[in-house]
Structure 1
Amino acid sequence: MAKTSIHIKPCNIGQSEAHNMRTKEYLAHINADKLYIREDLTPDNHSWISDQQRGLSLQQYYDNIGKMVKEKTGRAMQTKKRERVNKKTGRVTKIAGCTPLREGVIVCKQDTTMEQLEHFAELCQQRFGITALQIHIHKDEGHYMDPQDITSWKPNYHAHIIWNWMNHDTGKSYKLNSEDISEMQDLLAQALDMERGESKMLTGAQHLERNDYIVAKQKREVEEAKAKIMQLDKENETKAKQSIVLDQEIADKQQKANRENGNAILSGLANLAGKGKYAQLEAENTEMKRQVALLPTMVAQEVEQRMALVLAQRDEERQHADYWETQCALHERNYKSLLSKSRHREESLRQEIQQRDQIIEMMKAGLTDFLGQFTAVCQNAIKTIIQFARDTKAQFFTFSQASAINDFLTTESHDRRSGASILITFTRPFLNLFEHEKGKTEIKNVADNFNWYKERQEQKQKQQEEVRNRPRFKR
C-alpha cells in the first residue's frame, strides 16, 4: 500500500495562488531546473475554494484577518519574529511571528479524489479548529529519470491545502504541538485509505523541501552508481582470472590428447593386422584434435562477447553517474547563487528601512518644530488627540479633551469641518494607522456633535450629585 504524509509550513501568499492555479504568468517564468511541470497533464489537476474565501484573493483574506485580530485583541497582528528578555535571569526567548495562513503539502495517489481531501479537512476542523480555504490536487509535476527517454517520466502526485489557522472568537492562532501533527498524519492516512509514513520522531529524519530532496536523492544515486561500477570492475577482474585458468586447462587437455594420439599411431604400425581398427581410432583422434584446436577460439569469442557486454554496461553506468554529478553541481551552483541574492536583497532592504526610519524621524522633528509655532490652543488640541489615541483603554474623548478640540474648532477655524481636517492631518505622523483612525473618529464627533459630550458630562455630574446627597444610615 502506498504511503502518505503531510508537511505544513507558512503560506507564501505572493506565490501560492499562482503556483496552485497554474496561471499563465507563472508557467511562463517557471524554472524547469527546479520544478518541471508537464502542461499537457495540467487539465488533470483539480481545485476547490471555500465559500469563506469566495471572491477574495489570499492577500485580501489575509488583510481581513489582520482587521479581525485588531478588533478582538486591540493590538496589531504580530507577524515578525521577536525576542523577549527575562529581566531576572537575562535569558532571551525567541517568539515566532503569527502565521494566520498555512499551507500543507500532501503525498497522495493518482486516484485520490477531492471528496477524500475535503473529508480530511472536515476531520481537522472538528479536531483542531483550523479551517481549509483551498484544496488543489496536482498530477502534472514530476521528473524524467532520463531526459532523453520520454517513457522514464516519474510523476509526483500530491495536493496542497491552504488553512486558516486563526480562532475568530479570540483573535488568536491555534497552537498545535508535535503530537497533534502526528495525529493529523493518522487522520490523513485514514481519509485517503493509504499507509501512514514513518514518524520522524522515531526515524529522526528531517523534512527536506522539494529541491533539497531531489539534490539529496541525486547524490545518493551517484554514490550507488559509483558502488555498482566498482562491483562490476571486481567481477570483470574475477572473470579475467577465470579465463586464464580456463586457457591453461584447454592447453593441458590438448597436450594430453596429442600424446594419446601419438601412442595410438605407434601401436597401429606395430600391429598391421589390426590396421582398420587403428585407422578408425586415428580418424577419431584427428577429429578430436580439430575440435580441441577450435575450443580456445570459441572460448575466447565467448569471453570477448561477455567482456564487451560488461564494458558497455559499465560505460552506461558511468555516463549515468556523470549526468547526475553534473546535475548535482548545477543545483549546488543555483542554490549558492539564490542564497547570495537573498542575502544581498536582505541587506538592501535593511538599509532601505534604516533610511526610511531616519527620514521619518527627521520629518517628525521638523513637524514638531513647526507645530511649536502654533498657538497654545492648537498645540493643546494636537497633544490631547495624541494622548487619547495612544491610550488603549480610552474609547471616547473625556469632556475636557472634547473641550480642547472644540476650543480650536471655535477660535482658530472659520469652519468646524475644515478645522477637524487640519487636526486629522497634523496628528497623522505621530500615530500608527489604528491610533490615527481612533482619533479621527472622535475629532469628527466633536466637530459634528459637541453637545453629546456636554450632555454626557452633565449626566455624569448629576449622578455624582445624587450619590453625595443620598442619606447615610448609622450602624
Structure 2
Amino acid sequence: MTSVHIKPCHIGQSEAHNQRTKAYLDHINAEKLYIRKDLIPDNQSWTSEQQGDMTLQQYYDAIGRMVKEKTGRAMQTKERERVNKKTGKVTKIAGCTPLREGVVVCKPDTTMEQLKSFTDLCQQRFGITAIQIHLHRDEGHCTDPSDTSTWKPNYHAHIIWDWMNHDSGKSCKLDNEDISLIQDMAAESLEMERGASKLETGRQHLERNDYIVAKQKRELEDARKQAEELAREHEQKALDCEKLDRKIHEKQVKANRENGSAILSGLAHIAGKGRYAQLETENEKMKKQVAAIPQVVAQQVETLTITYKEEITKEQNRADFWLTKCNKQERIYKGLITELKNREENLKQELQQRDKIIATMKAGLTEFLRGFTVICQNAINAVIGFAHDTKLQHFTFPQATAINEYLSKESRDRRNGATILTLLTRPFLSLFEHQKGKAEIENVVDNFDWYKERQKQKQQEEVRNRPRFRR
C-alpha cells in the first residue's frame, strides 16, 4: 500500500536529510542502521528548473519577495489571532507555509518517472508545483540490531512542493477531500494499492518518534494482558484440581460404606491418587510458569524502557544539534540585518545632507540671478519654463525672442552666450530637462528665423480661421 503524508517543510533539516550531508550522517541512529551508508548510491534526486541553483532558503526568500510584489504585504508565516469585535470570539489563523514536504511510501522498483508523473497530476489539478524529489532506498531498520540479515527496508520518496500561486501571490487552498484525492492519484501513478482513508478509520498520522513510543506502549499492554490471561488460566486449573479432589474423596467414602472392604477402599484410593498425581504435576508446572511471568514481563518492560530512553536521548541530541545550527544561522542573519540598517541610516543622513547643500546652492543661485539684467533674467526664465512644460516640443515665439534678445544684446559671441545661458539654468533642471533646453537654445543660435516663420504662419492661420460677418 502507498500513502502521502504532507507537512510544512523544515528547510534546514530537509536539505540535510535528503542530500545525506556528512553532518546529518554523523548524527543518525547507527545502532539500528536507520540509514545504511552502503545503499546511499542507490538513492535518486531531481531538482526542477524553476529552483535552478538556488538553495531551499534562497527559494523561500524569493517566494517572500514575490508575495510582497503581488499583494503589497509581507508574507505572514506565523500563527495569529483574529478577534470578532461584535462577539469577542477569538479565531486562530494559521501562518503561510509556502514550502511543504510530502513523504510517499514506494515499492522497491518505483521509478523517478512515476513520481514525476504523480507531481505533474498534482500541479494540473491543484496548482502545487514540485521543485524537488528524493527517492530513498537506504532507510529502514533491523528487527535484531545485532543481525544485519534482519534488515527491513523502508522505501519512500520526499517531495518538496511550492504551495504558492505565483500569479496572485496567495497560497493554494486544499481541503481534506483534496488530500484524499492526492492519495488516490499517488496509488494510481505508482501502481500500488491505496491505504485506508483516515476519514474512515479516524486514525491520525504519527511521526517516527511518536510511532516508536506508541508501539512500545502497545507491546507493554500486550504483555500485561498476556500475564492476566495466564493468571486466570492458573486460577481455573487450581479450582478444577480442588473440585476433582472433592469428587475422589466422596467416591472413596461411598465405596468404603457400600462394600465395607478395605481392599476396595485401598484400590479406589490408589486409582484416585493416580489421577490426582497427574493433575498435581500439571498444577506444579503451571505454578512455575505463572511464577516466571512477572520476571519475564519485568524484563520486557526493562528492555523496552531502556530502548525508549535511548531513542529519546538520541532524538534530543539531534534536536539540540539542529537547534544550535539554526541559532547560529539566526545570529548571522541578525548581524546582516543590523549592518544593513546602519548602512541605510548612514545613507539617509548623507541624502539629507546633500539635499540641504542643494537647497542652499539653489537659494544662493536664485539670489545671484536677481543681480542679472532683465534681459538675462527673461532668457533664463524662458529656458526653465520651456524645460518644465512636458507638452512643449519647441520654444514658443516669446520664449525664442527672449533667448535671441539675450544672445544679441548681452553677448558678443552668440554661441558663447548660449553656453553661459545653458550653465546658468542647469541647477534648476533635471538632466533630461537640461538636455531639452540646451537643444532649443542651440536651435535659436543657428536658426531664429525658423521661429519667426513659424509665428507668421500661425498668425495667418488665425486670420483665416477668424469668423467673417456680412453687413
TM above 0.5: yes
Which SS does the other structure have where 2:180 is aligned?
helix
Amino acid at match of 2:14: S
Partner of 2:367: none
Matches within 5 A, 1:39-438: 39-53=37-51, 55-66=53-64, 68-69=66-67, 73=70, 75=72, 78-81=75-78, 83=80, 95-143=93-141, 147=145, 155-250=153-248, 263=261, 294-312=274-292, 315-328=295-308, 376-377=356-357
* Residue type of the alignment partner of 1:242: D
CA gap of 1:107–1:352, structure 2 versus 1, over 3 A, is closer
- The answer to whether the Cα contact below 8 Å between 1:68 and 1:171 also exists between their aligned partners in 2 is yes
Q: What whole-Å deviation, never above 9, does each CA across 1:165-206 have from its counterpart, x for those lacking one?
A: 233444443232333222212212322344433444444444
Closer/same/farther in 2, CA of residues 193 and 244 from structure 1, 3 Å limit: farther
Report the CA distance between 1:103 and its aligned residue: 0.6
Q: Does the 8 Å contact 1:135/1:162 carry over to 2? A: yes
Residue range with higher mean Cα deviation, 5-14 or 296-305: 296-305
CA distance in structure 1 between the partners assigned to 2:360 and 2:283 by the alignment: 105
What TM-score do you get using the length of structure 1 for normalisation? 0.59
User: Which residue of the partner structure matches residue 370 of structure 2?
Assistant: none
| TM superposition shift of 1:54 | 5.1
Offset of 1:321 from its aligned partner?
3.3
Q: Which moved more, 1:245-254 or 1:342-351?
A: 342-351
Verify the 8 A CA contact 1:6 1:106 in the aligned structure 2: yes
CA distance in structure 2 between the partners assigned to 1:8 and 1:105 by the alignment? 7
Q: In structure 2, how many angstroms separate the alpha carbons of the residues matched to 1:138 and 1:20? A: 8
In structure 2, how many angstroms separate the alpha carbons of the residues matched to 1:158 and 1:62? 25
Which letter does structure 1 place at the counterpart of 2:188? Q
Structure 1 counterpart of 2:19: 21
Alpha-carbon spacing, 1:128–1:234, altered in 2? closer, same or farther (3 Å): same
**Between 370-379 and 346-355, the greater mean CA deviation after superposition:** 346-355
Range with bigger deviation, 226-235 or 334-343: 334-343
Structure 1: 5+ residue runs without aligned partners? 266-281, 382-398, 401-448, 460-470
Alignment partners' CA distance in 2, 1:354 and 1:51: 31
Q: Do the aligned residues in 1 keep the contact of 2:29 with 2:314 (CA within 8 Å)?
A: no
Q: CA deviation at 1:26?
A: 1.0
- CA 1:32 to 1:149, structure 2 compared with 1: closer, same or farther past 3 Å? closer
Residue 256 to residue 345, structure 1, CA distance change in 2 (3 Å): farther
* Distance apart, 1:35 and its partner CA: 9.4
- Give the equivalent residue in structure 1 for 2:422: none
Q: Give the letter aligned to residue 27 of structure 1.
A: L
In the alignment, the residues of structure 2 paired with residue 224 and residue 91 of structure 1 have an alpha-carbon distance, to the nearest angstrom, of: 45
Amino acid at match of 1:134: Q
Q: Is the 8 A contact 1:108 1:159 kept in 2?
A: yes
DSSP 3-state at the match of 1:211 = helix
Amino acid at match of 1:210: R
Tell me if structure 2 keeps the 8 A contact 1:13–1:59.
yes
In 2, distance between residues paired with 1:371 and 1:56?
35
Q: Check 1:349–1:46 CA distance in 2 against 1; reply closer, same or farther (3 A cut).
A: closer
**Distance in 1 between residues matched to 2:247 and 2:189, nearest whole Å:** 68
The farther-off stretch of 187-196 and 150-159 is: 150-159
**For residues 304-341 of structure 1, what are the alpha-carbon distances to aligned partners after superposition, in whole Å with 9 as ceiling and x for unaligned?**
33443455456434422343345556667888999999
Distance 1:134 1:351 in 2: 28
Query: Contact between 1:142 and 1:155, CA under 8 Å: does it hold in 2?
Result: yes
CA distance in 2, matches of 1:92, 1:350: 31
Distance 1:200 1:299, change over 3 A: closer
Contact 1:136/1:159, CA 8 A, preserved across alignment: yes
Partner letter of residue 78 of structure 1? M
Closer/same/farther in 2, CA of residues 58 and 256 from structure 1, 3 Å limit: same
- Note the C-alpha offset of 1:20: 1.8
Q: Distance in 2 between matches of 1:37 and 1:337?
A: 17
Q: Secondary structure at 1:37's aligned position in 2?
A: coil
Please give the per-residue CA displacement for 1:261-313, whole angstroms capped at 9, x wherever unaligned.
Answer: 98496xxxxxxxxxxxxxxxx9xx99997676554444333333344345545
Q: Distance in 2 between matches of 1:69 and 1:134?
A: 21
Distance 1:44 1:345 in 2: 29
Residue 367 of structure 1, CA deviation: 8.1
1:161 deviates by 0.9
Distance 1:116 1:224, change over 3 A: same
Residue 172 of structure 2 aligns with an amino acid whose one-letter code is Y
How many Å separate the matches in 1 of 2:258 and 2:38? Answer: 76
8 A Cα contact 1:116 1:192, kept in partner:
yes
Conserved? CA contact 2:134–2:157, under 8 Å: yes
TM-score, normalising length: structure 2: 0.60
Cα distance in 2 between the residues matched to 1:46 and 1:346: 27
Assess, with a 3 A threshold, how the Cα gap between structure 1 residues 57 and 257 changes in structure 2: closer, same or farther: farther
The count of aligned residue pairs is 378
Instruction: Call closer, same or farther: CA 1:199–1:250 in 2, change over 3 Å.
Output: same
Distance 2:51 2:141 in 1: 33
Q: Which residue of 1 aligns with 2:9?
A: 11
Root mean square deviation, CA, Å: 5.3
Three-state SS of the structure 1 residue aligned to 2:75 is coil
Amino acid at match of 2:228: M
CA contact (8 A) 1:226 1:321 kept: no
Asked whether the 8 Å contact 1:247–1:296 carries over to 2, the reply is yes
